[in-house]
Amino acid sequence: MTAARATSIGAPGYSQTFPSVPESAGLARDLVVTALRVWRLEALLNGANLVATELVANAVQHGSGRYLVFSIERPSRSRVRIRVTNQSRIRPVLQSPGEEETRGRGLLLVAALAIDWGTDVHTSGKTVWADLADEAGT
């Protein structure tokens, strides 16, 4: 694992490499809390923590490779983007699970909380991202 580092160009942000294990969701939440407090966007904490948890959990469960890269950026004063990159090139699929099913709701939750979300596939894997905005701060 590497230390969190601020991005040097573009939007303010933090990025950290984590092992591809379920416990990394907690580490990602810690980074979210730090970033949102620094940026004074605490109103986004609950939603951002849930989005971070779901994206990391999906990367761990469905991804490949021993590591994932988690990042949080602030492209505008009241908007943040959470990204998780792993080595799998398989796009996540938004599902409609039945009432009896206990899995498959993660991306539905992300879609409900985010103002936008998507997947960017590249030669070494994919990045799943979600944007959240503090509507009161705009």
pLDDT tens track for 10-44: 678 999 999 999 999 999 999 999 999 999 999 99
User: Which residues, listed in sequence order, are joined to residue 127 by a DSSP beta bridge?
Assistant: 85, 120
For residue 99, what are the contacts with CB-CB under 8 A and spacing of at least 6?
none
Query: Considering its fold, how many domains does the chain have in total?
Result: 1
The answer to pTM > 0.85 is: yes
Which domain covers residue 116, as residue numbers?
A: 13-133
Domain with 110 in it: what CATH number?
3.30.565.10
List helix spans (H) across 19-99. 24-38, 45-62
Q: Is residue 3 part of a domain?
A: no
- Do residues 4 and 34 lie in contact, with contact meaning Cβ atoms separated by under 8 Å? yes
73-107 residue pLDDT tens: 999 999 999 999 999 999 987 777 677 776 667 88
Q: Is residue 82 part of a domain?
A: yes
Handedness of CA 65, 69, 70, 75 (dihedral sign): negative
